[in-house]
Chain A
Amino acid sequence: MSNLFKLKLSALGHPNPEFFNCEDEKEYRSVVLWLEDQKIRHYKIEDREGLRNIDSDFWKEAYNTYQKDLVSPAAEGTLNEQLNWLLSYAVRLEYADNVDKYKNAKVEEKKKAPNVVSSNPLDNLDFSSQAFKAGVNRVCTVASIGPHPDPKIRLAALAKVLKTSPHPEPLQTEVNLVNQPSDVLKLLFVQDLRNLQTKINEALVAVQTVTADPRTDTKLGRVGR
């Protein structure tokens, strides 16, 4: 929460957002006053007296009335939630006052997707070339795929057959011919999978920096019999 406060306070131009401690009652009260004085300005200056007396016992009452007057949805929440709403409200007002100024502001974002340059040789294949037609002819004869004027359709048929029909055991003389390319494909697949898993792990670690808070309490422990 306190990081969020710092961010919003510095956006609003608070003189020392870095040192604000929301747990300190006095600091909390003076930030509320600062928000009303500088940003929200809901009351006339003379009506801010109740909030101005930050040492007074009646400050809390004034604060509660203030929140009711602003119709704060967080009025029933914790002190931090209340302050968070006030800060967000002030940010909203600040923005509304200077829409033109902020509208064009851009967040510097890292490029999400790099420009994809296809490295897949198949994308650059000339499907009308003689070499392609001859190649399709050759493999289709081996797999006994019937003729068709469009070699692309023949290739699609071949792909379907290869995917669905059972693969015969290669002949002893052809074992290497068949197994080597399939081993290469398996290795490439494993490499892709490794890259994917590494990205998953990185994502998990990134989330952990927000959520993780491992604790132990040795007082709870008990060794059994």
Chain B
Amino acid sequence: MVVRQYNEEIKYLEKINPYCWRIKKGFQPNMNVEGVFYVNSTLEKLMLEELRNCCRPGMSGGFLPGVKQIANVAALPGIVGRSVGLPDVHSGYGFAIGNMAAFDMDDPKSIVSPGGVGFDINCGVRLLRTNLHEKDVLPIKEQLAQSLFDHIPVGVGSKGIIPMNARDLEEALEMGMDWSLREGYVWAEDKEHCEEYGRMLNADPSKVSLRAKKRGLPQLGTLGAGNHYAEIQVVDEIFDKYAAGKMGIESIGQVCVMIHSGSRGFGHQVATDALVQMEKAMKRDNIETNDRQLACARIKSVEGQDYLKAMSAAANFAWVNRSSMTFLTRQAFAKQFKMAPDDLDMHVIYDVSHNIAKVEEHVVDGKLKTLLVHRKGSTRAFPPNHPLIPVDYQLTGQPVLIGGTMGTCSYVLTGTHQGMTETFGSTCHGAGRALSRAKSRRNIDYKEVLNKLETMGISIRVASPKLVMEEAPESYKNVTDVVDTCHAAGISKKTVKLRPIAVIKG
């Protein structure tokens, strides 16, 4: 790593408009392309503060600041366009969380990196709507929260209530949501409103280690811990009436359910296994990176292909997982309201993944190119008329679901043409950490957090209250800042704001 004074470093950064900064070549060694990041004035301070801290003498080691990580990614072989940092960017393993990067599939040197996907492969958000109004739910809010908590097991080491054996898992890994559909856990319309229609076609369960499968099997249909949650939310504000209408959101106060979860231990094991293989491949093919955490392999190499196939299996796992929880949520609501989920209009509005690598076609410098797009802590946001988005959203653009932190608010955005050209159709994914987990544990008291939620009228069910402060709103950037930046920069458009009335989490 180049060690320079802060005032030297800042010379490589240039503010090109109120919401966008350029990272010039030379900020980190061997940059193939430039970097870029989107911030507003508040987030800008956080971003530069982080850089300043790391430039202080004696601060070598520890976390690399997000802006350095974006630049390191720009130095990876085969990258095209720019290495993009979204407003919620923060340090992660290798790639920053909130970083997207695209690699040319036709360049034999191009790489795929597990660090560019993240450990929780296909972590994502699903939003269900209902035809209930806040006033229908408030009287039985506590019972409903408890019922959800009883149906969806949460926390570290939780186990799901959908019976599955090893063969079911193999099929689920290959088929993704088609498995859930075949077995009757979801509706045909759910598949229609899911990114990739809930199935990565190149998934190959035989490329997944036995260990990953053993970890994954009992965890299907569980929420997990960390920042994952299921929330009952109500529509707080509608910014785009037409787009909201297309999503079946008609009025303020309408009740929705948001599920934020991923591939649990399964995805984590797939990523861990791949990193070991990639280190070997890097030595063999002489691939050099600025950061050891950026382990990668050429896309066309055996290791690269094996990882993509296993990653896709993990993505399918996550979709089955969210689908199972959709089923359980519908059951919980049906029991409480003594009505069929159909009659409650509990349709999936959309399902996005914000930790994934996918092959997509984009126009780069006026030419159509096939790219491997890594999105880590970044959500796909395709514009209107894009062939890969569901027919219902052809006129509005793809819905983008942004989960806030526990007890704050969440947003639905839509994709824009500007985002397609500037960020390969990508936008932010959530609030983004401001404090590390350890720091949050030290600085915040969990009782205070729970009390605060209670005074805000939010019912909460947690499996491990003592870990709640890691996820306290204070540990995160303000999701409204993040979303407003994306909106103002034009890379996605605000549609609906949701606020929670009940939370269940690990």
Contact = CB atoms under 8 A, between A and B. Distances in A.
Contacts of B163: 215-217, 220
B160 interface: yes
B444 interface: no
A197 B163 CA distance: 31
A186 interface: yes
Given A193-B394, A224-B153, A225-B463, A208 B160 contact: no
Main secondary structure of the interface of A (DSSP, over half): helix
Interface in B137-171: 149, 153-163
Interface stretch (A40-48, A82-90, A134-142, A199-207): A199-207
Interface stretch (B32-40, B99-107, B179-187): B179-187
B48 interface: no
A225 B465 CA distance: 9
A145 to B, nearest CB: 25
A221 B160 contact: yes
A213 interface: yes
B229 interface: no
B153 A222 contact: yes
Contacts of A197: 192, 390-391
B153 A216 contact: no
A208 B394 CA distance: 27
A224 B153 CA distance: 7
A200 to B, nearest CB: 8
A220 B160 contact: yes
B158 A201 contact: no
A208 B180 CA distance: 10
Interface in B440-474: 463-464
Contact of B183 (A186, A214, A221, A225): A214
B192 A201 contact: yes
A194 interface: yes
A216 B158 contact: no
B157 A194 contact: no
A190 interface: yes
Nearest to A215: B163
Contact of A224 (B162, B189, B464): B464
A224 B390 CA distance: 36
Contacts of A207: 182
A225 B155 contact: yes
B191 interface: yes
Contacts of B392: 194
B327 interface: yes
Contact of A214 (B327, B390, B463): B327
A224 B158 contact: yes
B491 interface: no
B327 A221 contact: no
Contacts of B188: 200-202, 204-205, 208
B421 interface: no
B343 to A, nearest CB: 17
B96 interface: no
Contacts of A194: 391-392
A16 interface: no
A57 to B, nearest CB: 36
Given A197-B192, A201-B188, A214-B183, A224 B154 contact: yes
B241 to A, nearest CB: 19
A71 to B, nearest CB: 33
Contacts of A173: none
B158 A223 contact: yes
B352 interface: no
A213 B181 contact: no
B339 interface: no
A197 B394 CA distance: 13
B299 interface: no
A124 interface: no
B185 A214 contact: yes
A211 B182 contact: yes
A211 B153 contact: no
B385 interface: yes
Q: Closest 7 interchain pairs by CB? A: A212-B184, A224-B155, A224-B158, A204-B188, A221-B161, A224-B157, A201-B188
10 contacts: A197-B390, A200-B192, A204-B188, A205-B188, A207-B182, A216-B331, A217-B162, A220-B218, A221-B158, A225-B157
Interface of B: 149, 153-163, 181-185, 188-189, 191-192, 218, 222, 225, 327-328, 331, 385, 390-392, 394-395, 463-464, 506
